[in-house]
Amino acid sequence: MLTVHHLNNSRSQRVLWLLEELGVPYEIVRYQRQPDMRAPKELRAIHPLGKSPVITDNGNTIAESGAIIDYLTGTYGNGRLIPPPNTPERLRYTYWLHYAEGSAMQPLLLKLLFTLMPKRAPALLRPLVRKVSNQALTVLVNPQLKQHMDYWEGELGKSEWFAGNEFTAADIQMSFPLEAAQARGGLETGHPKAMAFLERIHARPAYQRALEKGGPYQVGR
């Protein structure tokens, strides 16, 4: 049976959601984050990088969210959750599927990093680290993040979903950046269409079922 190697409070929640949308049977092997929030070493027995999400299916081990989505929609989707080939919607779908991790997550990860650095620095160095971190956030990270959030807002003004008027797996992929931006990027200020997108996905029955199976889920907190 298809197995999701599920790290709590991680991107693998999207994989559970996709499987629930597709109605594909699966089992979950659970892993808990360590106190430093890293994945446990047991995940390295599944994939050398020891990161999540990872799935195993029919002798295949697939990592990376985009690759997993490609595999699951191609193997089990029967044309569902993906626009037809050679359409503008398919091109948009492919773009958002890769943009989510390729571009959108970079400023969000930097935001998390520079926010945590002063808290984890030695006490004597904390004022200096806080000064450097605040400067990096003000000059570099926050302006980039606002640019991305404004971009999402504009695109969601063109259609209800990221690839067009139909819900697709690209929306599942894009859920994580928007949830992270809501948690630590100020998405709720000036981005009503992006916030409405989050309300729509959170109300989907498959999303709710995935939450029940995946456990507590708080992005960026």
Domain boundaries defined on the chain:
3-82+208-214, 88-204
* Fold match, 3-82+208-214 / 88-204: no
**Chain-centre distance for alpha carbon 86:** 26
* pLDDT of the residue at 221: 39
Looking at CATH, the fold of the domain delimited by 3-82+208-214 is given as: Glutaredoxin (3.40.30)
Confidence of residue 35 (pLDDT cuts 50, 70, 90): confident
Residues 81 and 169: beta-carbon distance below 8 Å: yes
Instruction: State the chain's mean pLDDT as an integer.
Output: 94
- What pLDDT, in 10s, does the model give residues 90-103? 999 999 999 999 99
Alpha-carbon separation of residue 87 from 34, 53, 163, 208 (angstroms):
44, 29, 11, 31
Q: Which amino acid, residue 188?
A: E
The CATH number of 88-204, from 1.20.1050.10, 1.10.3720.10, 1.10.10.10, 3.40.50.300, is 1.20.1050.10
How far apart CA 160 and CA 156 sit, in angstroms, is 6
Q: What is the pLDDT of residues 143-185, one digit of tens each?
A: 999 999 999 999 999 999 999 999 999 999 999 999 999 998 9
